[in-house]
Structure 1
């Protein structure tokens, strides 16, 4: 019989609730009776990202400045699931159209991942989007400014090898998509 490792939350207090920062302080009891107080949790909405392929097989990537690291990096398109999104798939369809101007004929859910399950309460939904066609101009959210570019699959693999893509959840999405496409075996 497996031991239940679930912690019991004794109390929760919000320290900050703002648009992009919600932090709470929990007091928790471990299964062995030990009390952890404080334990800080960062609350975020769930996120979505996609390995997005155009009709002619090009990968849609983005260059975006990330202030916390103070650098511009290459990423896969995606963003937050909004309260108005019916599902994670609806959210990635919306995000792809807003950020890139592309619509897609097919979506496949690849799985989920977590940026840091010890402190963050959300997950990232990973998708493979196929059949992209440019149908609109970009429509950025306030505070969003990014550059879209296309790459071959071989170039994306090289970007990962050269550490030019460092966002771990995006790398996870790329690896799972490449495996699904028969471009990577593990």
Structure 2
């Protein structure tokens, strides 16, 4: 277990802040830790009646390319319940409301340097609504069947949270229907 000795906030942004802490390790040595403090997030697997999953495609500046992802977003509204955040993000990004929700669980995305805890949901009974992306966001929205999801996985066009969300929701994007090669 590491014990915090002291630290400082070195950056505060719109979504997160960065802290640099000095810690004492179990053996008495000191080390520096840089941590991204994040309010948490949600990810939603919107599943249509035919089993297709609705994904959103957006350009990710940090990696210099567009990726297909499950709708997701930051818990940036103080006091908003986690499921309310998920409902809001599904409508904003994908343009759907859902009649049925199931909470799948939570996972730390990059615990080596951030405390972001993402809560995962499956949403079914989808009804289209008007999407309202944030002013700095732009999305393409498309449903994908299982075979198309497997193709996307193979091309690197899915991000890690999406692969985790799909697996957690029981969508097997890993098995090649032709077997091992």
After superposing on structure 2, the runs of 4+ consecutive aligned residues of structure 1 that deviate more than 6 Å are none
TM-score, normalised to structure 1, is 0.86
The answer to whether the 8 Å contact 2:41/2:117 transfers is yes
The answer to whether the 8 Å contact 1:113/1:169 transfers is no
Matched with 1:127 is 121
**Cα 1:185–1:171, aligned 2, differ >3 Å: closer, same or farther?**
closer
Q: Please provide the CA RMSD for this pair.
A: 1.9
**1:6-85 residue pairs with structure 2 within 5 A?**
6-36=1-31, 38-84=32-78
Tell me, in whole angstroms, the C-alpha distance in 1 between the residues paired with 2:6 and 2:77. Answer: 26
Residue 116, structure 1, aligned to residue 110, structure 2: yes
How many pairs does the alignment contain? 175
C-alpha displacement at 1:58, in angstroms? Answer: 2.4
C-alpha displacement at 1:7, in angstroms? Answer: 1.2
Q: Which consecutive unaligned segments of at least 5 residues does structure 2 have?
A: 176-181
The answer to whether the 8 Å contact 1:62/1:74 transfers is yes
Q: Which consecutive unaligned segments of at least 5 residues does structure 1 have?
A: 1-5
Residue aligned with 2:111, SS: coil
CA shift digits 1:150-169 (9 cap, x unpaired)? 1113321332233321x112
C-alpha displacement at 1:43, in angstroms? Answer: 1.4
Residue aligned with 1:159, SS: helix
CA shift digits 1:46-90 (9 cap, x unpaired)? 011111112443211111000001101111111101234532211
TM-score, normalised to structure 2, is 0.88
